[in-house]
Each structure stands twice: as structure tokens, then as C-alpha cells.
Amino acid sequence: MTKTAIIIPARYGSSRLEGKPLIEVNNKPIIQWVYEKAMQVKSADIVIVATDDERIYNRVKSFGGEVEMTSSEHKCGSDRIREVADRHPEFSYIVNLQGDEPMIKPESISAVIDNIKNDKVADISTLVRVIEEEEEIKSPNLVKCVFDMNGYAMYFSRSGIPYHRNLGISKTYGHIGIYGYKREALIKMTTLSQTPLEQAESLEQLRALENGMKIKVSIVDFVPVGIDTLEDLAKFKAMVA
């Protein structure tokens, strides 16, 4: 039977904010905030946390969530969700949802699923938002995306693309790090070697583009709250206070 799975990779170690999946806000760990948003997506059949840490595993179990242990050798979230997908041949569509996005909108996750299910050409789907602040456009921490007239990604970069030589012609779009995969695309992505542009920009999605894979893009109107630092955590706490 064909199923759609949302898989949330979560690890304890983080260079900037160790143990962030278990940090509690309003008596709930961040991983639970993300899990509950994913559970609101009607087009998904199952939500699974994929972790290599027993503390996270036990905490997810404690609030009734689905969780699976994975290898500690994985270098990225895609490899971690691939391990879970290998155990479940019934998963035809797989969403990689970041475990540090507690304010993600369920309808945005649904858009990722709809694109990967309904677009016969797309191998992968993802989200972008309009950015207008010059500081964000210049920041290498916010990845930018340009896409063609049919909504397929042409390139992702940490630089401000496109360069606005003629103002008012085109908008700048920031990438939101959620991906939907057709099963065969996830397997291909995690089998391919790193590519030159991927290594240059440290952006895994460029591996897909360099190998001719199609990434469908949807534009959404929310600003994600990714929690990478203590400052990000403080902002999130203020939002839910």
C-alpha cells in the first residue's frame, strides 16, 4: 500500500545549541512542537521522528509519538530518513521536516506533499518565501533560490541571487529547508556522490540539480522560526508567551 510519511530527523549534538530537540518551551520539548504540527497534515499517513539518541527516543515515546532509532554515522538528515524509508517499502512519498522549525504551518507541509504527489516531472519539492530585507539578502545563513517560469528550481545559493541590476524586475526568494521526495528520488539523492557546486556552497540540494533532478518550488507567506541559537530560542519563547 502506498503511504506518505513525514520523517523528522533529530540529533542531540549541535555546535550552536546542544540538545535543542529536548529544550522545553511551555512544558513541551521543541521536537514535540514540530511533531504536533506535522500530525495536523491530513495528507500524511504517518509522522516519525528519526534519531540516534536514546534521550530523544524516550522523550518522543513519552508524549505518544512514533520514533525510530537510526545510525549515529549519518552525516545529514537525508541519510537518516533514508534509513527509515528502507525499513518501510510502503512509503512512496517522504517529507524531510526539520526538527527545529516549531512554527511551521501544516498547510505549508501539505503544499510540499501535494507538489510531489501531483507533479509527474518533479523528483523533489520544497518551499520559498519572498525576502526584502537587505540584511537577509546578504546573509549567507539564509539560502536564496531562483526558479523558472514553471516553478522548478534553477539554483540555490548563499549569495544574493538574482543580482538586481535592474530594480523592481524580480523578487528575491529565501529557501525554507523542508523537502518532499518521491521514494526513488530519495534513494538516488542519498546514493550519489557530492558534487562540485554542493561542496562549494555546502548545499545538499545542489547535488540534485547537478544530476538533472527536478525540484518543484512553492511560494509561502510565512517566516520560519528556525532554532539554532539561544537568541532564536528567546524569540520563539517570546512568540508563544
Domain ranges of the chain: 1-104, 120-175+184-223
Indicate whether 154 pLDDT > 90: yes
Indicate whether 16 pLDDT > 80: no
| Phi, psi dihedral angles at 226 (to 5 degrees) | -85, 130
Residue type, 170: S
Alpha-carbon distances of 43 from 5, 78, 241, rounded to whole Å: 9, 21, 30
Residue pLDDT, tens place only, 82-126: 999 999 999 999 999 998 889 899 999 999 999 999 999 999 999
Please tell me the predicted confidence (pLDDT) of residue 186. 96
Indicate whether 146 pLDDT > 70: yes
Domains 1-104 and 120-175+184-223 share a fold: yes
Which band of pLDDT confidence, cut at 50, 70 and 90, is reported for residue 7? very high
Which band of pLDDT confidence, cut at 50, 70 and 90, is reported for residue 207? very high
* Least confident range of 5-19, 131-145, 199-213: 5-19
Indicate whether 15 pLDDT > 70: no
Report the residue count for the chain: 241
Rounding to the nearest 10 degrees, give the CA dihedral for residues 158, 162, 163, 167: -140
Please tell me the predicted confidence (pLDDT) of residue 68. 96
CB 144 within 8 A of CB 234: no
Please tell me the predicted confidence (pLDDT) of residue 189. 93
Q: Which fold has domain 120-175+184-223?
A: Spore Coat Polysaccharide Biosynthesis Protein SpsA; Chain A (3.90.550)
* Least confident range of 21-35, 92-106, 183-197, 227-241: 227-241
Higher-confidence residue of 234 and 174: namely 174
* Least confident range of 32-41, 111-120, 161-170, 214-223: 161-170
Give the angle subtended at the CA of 232 by the CAs of 231 and 238, to the nearest 5°: 90
Q: Which fold has domain 1-104?
A: Spore Coat Polysaccharide Biosynthesis Protein SpsA; Chain A (3.90.550)
